[in-house]
Structure 1
Amino acid sequence: MTALLLPIFAVLIGFLIAIIFKPTVNSGIKLLLSFSGAFLLSTTIFEFLPEIYAVQNKEIGIYIIAGLLIQIILEFGSKGAEHGHIHQKDSKTFPWLLFVSLCIHALIEGFPVSENEHILYGIVVHKIPIAIIISSFLLLSKMKLWQSIIFILVFASMTPLGSFINQQAFILESYKTPINAFVVGVLLHVSTTILFESSKNHQFNASKLGVILLGFIIAYYL
């Protein structure tokens, strides 16, 4: 039940923050995003990768690469919203490409969360700043409020849906390791993109480095 509820709460918290505080994507949001990326990357490396490679199957790397490639393809539709890149447009049109891409991403990352508590926490921490950024984009657009609410509610439900499918579809049991490896590829792409994108004017950012290290340390001792 925790795996079903926590991702929803994370998105709704982000949505409420966007409604109440109406934040812009400033340095504070970017630092929170950097922390979440570091935390997600660390939980993937410390907890998820060793579990997958315990199978000692050389083909595991193929599935990880496939996950990376699928995430790259998804970002043609989302324009990088999964790692905080979203550009405001004064349009009343519902952003279908963004919506579908984000929902597919969220569905994929939901598959392992019911079986791996650390990955669940990593995804939940990551979802809060992403939900703030996406919600701010929706609320500042010319779309109607009910459309924004539907967008957020469906997006929030996708990760629990992925977890539910993984639990109920027994046919997937035989493919658990390849599926998990595929999810690792998706998470690696998103988290590393957050961390390794250049700072403004390629300047050293001590604050960003500090929160990244904090994310690594907390994930290690979790």
Structure 2
Amino acid sequence: MWIAVLLLAATVLVAGAMVSLVPAVRTGQWVKPLLAFSGAYLFTLTITHLLPEALTLLPEAPQRVGYWVLAGFFGQLLLEVLSQGIEHGHVHAPDATERGRVPLLLVLALVVHSLLEGSILVRGAGSGEVGQHFYALVLGIALHHVPAAVALATLLRLRLGSLRRAWPWLLVFALASPAGLVFSNYIVLQQLLGSGIYAALLGFVAGTFLHVSTTILFETSPEHRLNWPKLGATLGGLLLALAVSAT
């Protein structure tokens, strides 16, 4: 459990540090293949694990799960109005009026998104799909956070003039998913598993994952041409998630 906490936090912090330590990271050439890989991986885990478990938890009313999936899908659409698509590695250069100012709404939207992701990581789900493949889902979320952390660090560096001033905000982002994980497993675990709340939460987060992953996959090939590195990364993410599902 605590390995997952450390992995989720360290992924964001290391990715943020790379913006300053490795100049090539700022060119973003590696971002699209990683996005394609993580998008395919998350999409596959959502279809094979999150949605089946949510439906299993509410067999008497499966349509309620569908409503929560829709809420998550369109809720993420609204969140991205505030986050400006930073979950997908987007960085919009700040204008003169934004320099020196922290984009609080953007950070808040990213933290809410990350907190929800961490909240479904419940080992106490017993024999459920999430419980069985806990670390597979942790890996997917961690990979998804790498381009987001690089984009956030880059944006804050541009706005605040140095990465040193950006670190408190990167730390807030780094701790969001671990906070959701700890809250679900150690504070409200019985309430989650003893009611339909966990099924609703799984459905909602599955909807956000569907939105994020499909947007990533469409954005990495906007010209609808065959791009071998992106295709290879997409297939790699798909096959890894399927391999995990089979174990």
Q: Same fold (TM over 0.5)?
A: yes
Report the equivalent of 1:156.
Answer: 174
**Quick check: 1:61 aligned with 2:66?**
yes
Q: Which of 205, 209, 222 is the matching residue for 2:231?
A: 209
**Quick check: 1:47 aligned with 2:49?**
yes
Question: What is the Cα-based RMSD across aligned positions, in Å?
Answer: 1.8
Choose 1 or 2 for highest CA Rg: 2
Q: Which of 150, 158, 172 is the matching residue for 1:132?
A: 150
Q: Which of 152, 164, 171 is the matching residue for 2:191?
A: 171
1:1-222 matched pairs, under 5 angstroms: 1-22=2-23, 23-55=25-57, 56=59, 57-90=62-95, 91-115=99-123, 116=130, 117=134, 118-167=136-185, 168-169=187-188, 170-173=190-193, 174=195, 175-197=197-219, 199=221, 201-222=223-244
Paired amino acid for 2:115: L
* CA 1:60–1:25: 2 relative to 1, 3 Å: farther
Shift of 1:36: 1.2
Deviates more, 1:152-161 or 1:136-145: 136-145
Paired amino acid for 2:221: S
Is the contact made by 2:72 and 2:206 (CA closer than 8 Å) also made in structure 1? yes
Q: Would you identify which runs of 4 or more consecutive aligned residues in structure 1 move more than 6 Å?
A: none
Which segments of 5 or more consecutive residues in structure 2 lack a partner in the other structure? Answer: 124-129
Q: Quick one: distance in 2 between partners of 1:163 and 1:201? A: 38
State how many pairs are aligned. Answer: 222
Is the contact made by 1:94 and 1:147 (CA closer than 8 Å) also made in structure 2? no
Shift of 1:136: 2.1
Deviates more, 1:135-144 or 1:59-68: 135-144
* CA 1:145–1:85: 2 relative to 1, 3 Å: closer
Aligned-pair identity in percent equals: 35
Is the partner of 2:78 in helix, strand or coil?
A: helix
Is the contact made by 2:44 and 2:238 (CA closer than 8 Å) also made in structure 1? yes
Shift of 1:143: 4.2
Which segments of 5 or more consecutive residues in structure 1 lack a partner in the other structure? Answer: none
Shift of 1:193: 0.6
* CA 1:171–1:53: 2 relative to 1, 3 Å: closer
Q: Quick one: distance in 2 between partners of 1:215 and 1:66? A: 26
Q: Normalising by structure 1, what TM-score?
A: 0.92
Is the contact made by 1:94 and 1:143 (CA closer than 8 Å) also made in structure 2? no
Q: Normalising by structure 2, what TM-score?
A: 0.83
